[in-house]
């Protein structure tokens, strides 16, 4: 299983590498008519589903044993990783088959939408868990890191929707890449805090940190 920092950030980083390579190839296409339409901003900073609605959350899970809690966290990481892997598997082909700038931006926007949805679901799943006291700090820190990643992906989606020339993407890409280490670091620290709590509680689990 990949580390949580991988599904929080590296998939988006790969997307932007594709953006730079792919858009440069069609930058002189006179048929490129402009950016793909972006979802309307709601003004709500919380991540939402692809339909623009906050996902419905299950009841708060208050009766989990520490073992059950950490097993569920490991499952949440795995579920999010599977979703981003599925998006990665088709992204390159879809980007390569797009005929112009507008088509490529539409592919990238759809890809980011899948990632935002994965982040949103993971946040919701973590948020309804009640962690053991020793894991509370890491639990909250990981939710914060996931919220940051979801917000960054949403902001990236909106900014790329305004691009109508490949050169305009370069500073956006550079800014995103500069923010990667901070987002990755926060997710990894939170994961290590959770792993440390599990170790201290004597729970045998190997969370995919780092």
Neighbours of 185 (CB within 10 A): 12
The pLDDT, as a whole number, for residue 10 is 46
The pLDDT, as a whole number, for residue 46 is 43
List 61's β-bridge partners, or say none.
129
Does 39 or 144 have the greater pLDDT score? 144
**In whole angstroms, what is the distance from residue 150 CA to residue 158 CA?**
12
The pLDDT, as a whole number, for residue 38 is 37
Neighbours of 68 (CB within 10 A): 13
Are 190 and 141 spatial neighbours (Cβ–Cβ below 8 Å)? yes
DSSP string, 83-128: HHHHHHHHHHHHHHH--SHHHHHHHHHHHHHHHHHHHHHHHHHHHT
Q: Which of 11-15, 92-96, 157-161 has the lowest mean pLDDT?
A: 11-15
The pLDDT, as a whole number, for residue 208 is 84
The pLDDT, as a whole number, for residue 8 is 54
Does 77 or 134 have the greater pLDDT score? 134
Does 106 or 14 have the greater pLDDT score? 106
**In whole angstroms, what is the distance from residue 105 CA to residue 122 CA?**
26
The pLDDT, as a whole number, for residue 163 is 85
Average pLDDT over residues 182-201: 92
Query: What residues contact 205, with CB distance under 8 A and at least 6 apart?
Result: 70, 71, 74, 195, 198
Q: Which residues of 44-54 are buried (b: 16+ CB within 10 A; e: fewer)?
A: eeebbeeeeee
Name the residue ranges covered by the structural domains of the chain.
4-20+59-200
Are 100 and 138 spatial neighbours (Cβ–Cβ below 8 Å)? no
The pLDDT, as a whole number, for residue 105 is 83
The pLDDT, as a whole number, for residue 193 is 95
The pLDDT, as a whole number, for residue 19 is 47
Spatial CA neighbour of 116 closest among 52, 60, 72: 52
* Alpha helices, DSSP H, located in the chain: 4-5, 11-26, 66-97, 101-127, 136-160, 166-200
Does 35 or 14 have the greater pLDDT score? 14
129 pLDDT more than 90: yes
The pLDDT, as a whole number, for residue 30 is 42
* Cα 167-172-174 angle, rounded to 5 deg: 95
Sign of CA dihedral 188, 179, 25, 101: positive
Instruction: Using pLDDT thresholds of 50, 70 and 90, give the confidence band for residue 44.
Output: very low
49 pLDDT more than 60: no
Mean pLDDT for the chain?
76
The pLDDT, as a whole number, for residue 59 is 56
Instruction: Using pLDDT thresholds of 50, 70 and 90, give the confidence band for residue 1.
Output: low
The pLDDT, as a whole number, for residue 56 is 54
Average pLDDT over residues 187-208: 94
């Amino acid at each position: 299983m990949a580390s949580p920092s991988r599904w929080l950030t590296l998939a988006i980083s790969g997307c932007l590498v594709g953006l730079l390579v792919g858009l440069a190839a069609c930058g002189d296409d006179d048929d490129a008519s402009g950016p793909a339409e972006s979802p309307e901003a709601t003004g709500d900073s919380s991540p939402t589903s692809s339909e623009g609605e906050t996902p419905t959350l299950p009841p708060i899970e208050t009766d989990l044993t520490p073992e059950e809690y950490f097993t569920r966290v490991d499952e949440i990481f795995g579920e999010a990783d599977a979703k981003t892997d599925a998006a990665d598997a088709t992204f390159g082909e879809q980007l390569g088959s797009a005929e112009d700038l507008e088509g490529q931006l539409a592919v990238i926007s759809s890809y980011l939408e899948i990632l935002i949805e994965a982040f949103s679901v993971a946040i919701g799943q973590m948020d309804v868990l009640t962690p053991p006291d020793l894991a509370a700090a890491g639990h909250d820190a990981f939710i914060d890191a996931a919220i940051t990643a979801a917000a960054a992906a949403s902001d990236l989606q909106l900014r790329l929707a305004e691009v109508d020339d490949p050169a305009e993407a370069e500073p956006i890409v550079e800014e995103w890449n500069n923010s990667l280490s901070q987002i990755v670091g926060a997710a990894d620290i939170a994961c290590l805090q959770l792993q440390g709590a599990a170790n201290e509680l004597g729970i045998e689990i190997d969370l995919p940190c780092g």
